[in-house]
Amino acid sequence: MYRQGDVLIVPVAQEAVPAHVTDAPREPRDARGRLVLALGEVTGHAHAVVGKGELVREPGPFGPLLLHLPGGGRVVHEEHAPIPLPEGWYRVIRQREYVPGSVRIVAD
């Protein structure tokens, strides 16, 4: 398991990757060529992955992301140390905060 700020990255075994991921749309890369996992609303900084790979968003308002890194990659952020990730599949989960009557995504 890996954590950078409000983003949790959990390895997923190949056989546990949902079948629908094969045909699911991929998230686009940003202007800098990164796969953005979470964008800071206040600072504009981003938790992002550099390296070859694909990012798939699961359905739903808090749908997690599935990240595939066939050759590994690095998670980068302007205010955190980079985290190297080995090749494989990962589930990317944003930290949530309970607010009475609702749930909100934590913004870094």
Between residues 94 and 28, the one the model is more confident about: 28
Instruction: Considering only CA atoms, give the Rg of the chain.
Output: 14
> In percent, how much of the chain has pLDDT > 90?
44
Q: What is the pLDDT of residue 102?
A: 60
pLDDT tens digit string along 24-35?
Answer: 888 999 999 999
**pTM attached to this predicted model:** 0.81
pLDDT exceeds 80 at position 44: no
Q: State pLDDT tens for residues 63-82.
A: 668 999 999 999 999 888 99
